[in-house]
Amino acid sequence: MDFEKIFMPFSNWKVVLLSFLGATTFWFFSALGKEYNTGIRYPVEFVFDRDSLVEMQPLAEYVDLEVTGGGWDLFRQGFWFGSDPILVEPENPAATRYLTRPAILPIVRDHLSQFQINFLYTDTLFMDINRRISKKVNLGIDSLSISLDSDYRIISKIQLEPDTARIYGPTSFIDTLDSFYTIPIESQEIDRDFDRFITLGLLDGYNISSDPTTVKVTFQVERFDNLQLPLQLELLNFPEDSSAYPILDDVSVSFSVQRSLREEYFSEDFKVILDYDMISRKDSTAPAIVMIHPENALEVEVFPDTIKILYRE
């Protein structure tokens, strides 16, 4: 068997490949030398002072257009060789809401001078840009919004250091701020004295910031216990002949108090009255009213809170 004749066609594969590559290269460079009409998407970049102005909505990143140009130029454009973005510089960005095709086209033609601009498909570039301003505000905490652990209460004044701040941001945001700004406390189920630096809880983005960025917040908390004490009623305006009298002489008073002070409260610290002049003629009852109680006793209630009045025959 003549192996040389069998494998001879395969020995010329290099020649065939080089011929193919040569023909392809010739065709490629020949094609690039011609002119073509084509649609392209070209990058744009808005130019403005981003320290004093804020972009409120995403700005356009491209314009779509049809051009006539040489193959080489279109090839470089297609593969992003030297595609510097078209710079759009509005005269008054905060007052300009859009740029229309007549305003955009000269900028595009000037930047893409190597092409003939046949048509600009992008007819409008919308803009939403605010001036960046600032406002000085007083700072505070909404104590009712603070998350405390069960039975815990705040027992001191809430201190903020500093108690004022200057907030920076776009006009549309700053104009909504009152002179008093409430800082949210994100901590949950607080069961110990609070002494932390917290942020002002401002919106993310839009170049919003504050000076200072954090505020020191301090306050004390303590657990409260529910107590109950027996108490003798004090009668007012009842008939001196005792022809009317309450069905009960004693009631119970319940209240909440700091755990550290629970041993300091006695029945003598409270006064509950039953006023005959407040009797209901419908059912012969009168309300039991707490007249005196210690300042630190909270949620003071009387049980029962109404007393039946009896009459002697």
Provide the phi-psi class of 284: left if phi over 0, else alpha when psi is between -120 and 50, else beta: left
- Residue 114's pLDDT is 85
Tally of CB atoms within 10 A around 131: 15
- Residue 259's pLDDT is 94
Q: How far apart are CA 136 and CA 313, in angstroms?
A: 75
Q: How far apart are CA 258 and CA 125, in angstroms?
A: 64
181, 140 contact by CB (below 8 A): yes
* H-run or E-run covering 116: strand 116-120
Task: Name the band, by pLDDT with cuts 50, 70 and 90, for residue 116.
Answer: confident
Q: How far is CA 187 from CA 140, 147, 280, in A?
A: 16, 7, 49
235, 309 contact by CB (below 8 A): no
Same domain, 107 and 205: no
In the predicted model, what is the mean pLDDT of residues 198-208?
Answer: 94
Q: Helix (H, G, I), strand (E, B), or coil: what is residue 242?
A: coil
Quick check: is 7 in a domain? no
Quick check: is 53 in a domain? yes
Same domain, 22 and 65: yes
Same domain, 186 and 246: no
- Residue 9's pLDDT is 54
Task: Residue 165: give its domain's CATH number.
Answer: 2.170.120.40
Quick check: is 305 in a domain? yes
* Residue type for position 124: T
Q: How far is CA 77 from CA 66, 107, 218, 290, in A?
A: 13, 18, 61, 87
Task: Name the band, by pLDDT with cuts 50, 70 and 90, for residue 59.
Answer: very high
Same domain, 93 and 144: no
- Residue 28's pLDDT is 44
CB-based burial label for 29 (10 Å; 0-12, 13-18, 19+): exposed
How much is the pTM?
0.73
Same domain, 101 and 162: no
Task: Name the band, by pLDDT with cuts 50, 70 and 90, for residue 73.
Answer: low
- Residue 68's pLDDT is 85
Task: Name the band, by pLDDT with cuts 50, 70 and 90, for residue 80.
Answer: very low
Whether 236 shows a pLDDT value over 80: the answer reads: yes
- Residue 306's pLDDT is 95
Quick check: is 27 in a domain? yes
Summarize pLDDT for 5-57 with one digit per residue, the tens. 554 555 565 555 555 555 454 444 444 445 768 888 999 999 999 999 999 99
- Residue 74's pLDDT is 58
Same domain, 160 and 258: no
Same domain, 230 and 167: no
Q: Which residues pair with 305 in a beta bridge?
A: none
Residue with tokens 């009409």: 37
The bridge status of strand 35-46 relative to strand 86-88 is parallel
Whether 110 shows a pLDDT value over 80: the answer reads: yes
Same domain, 252 and 291: yes
Encoded tokens for 18: 């080089």
Lowest mean pLDDT across 60-69, 85-94, 164-173, 225-234: 60-69
- Residue 77's pLDDT is 58
Number of domains in the chain: 3
219, 236, 265 - which closes a domain: 219
- Residue 113's pLDDT is 85
Quick check: is 9 in a domain? no
Q: Helix (H, G, I), strand (E, B), or coil: what is residue 25?
A: helix
125, 97 contact by CB (below 8 A): no
pLDDT mean across residues, the chain? 87
Domain that holds residue 209: 132-219
Summarize pLDDT for 269-306 with one digit per residue, the tens. 999 999 999 999 899 999 999 999 998 899 999 999 99
- Residue 40's pLDDT is 86
Q: How far is CA 45 from CA 89, 107, 253, in A?
A: 9, 12, 74
From the list 85, 12, 3, the residue with the least C-alpha distance to 42 is 85
Q: Helix (H, G, I), strand (E, B), or coil: what is residue 90?
A: coil
Percent of the chain whose pLDDT exceeds 90: 75
Summarize pLDDT for 165-192 with one digit per residue, the tens. 999 999 999 999 999 999 999 999 999 9
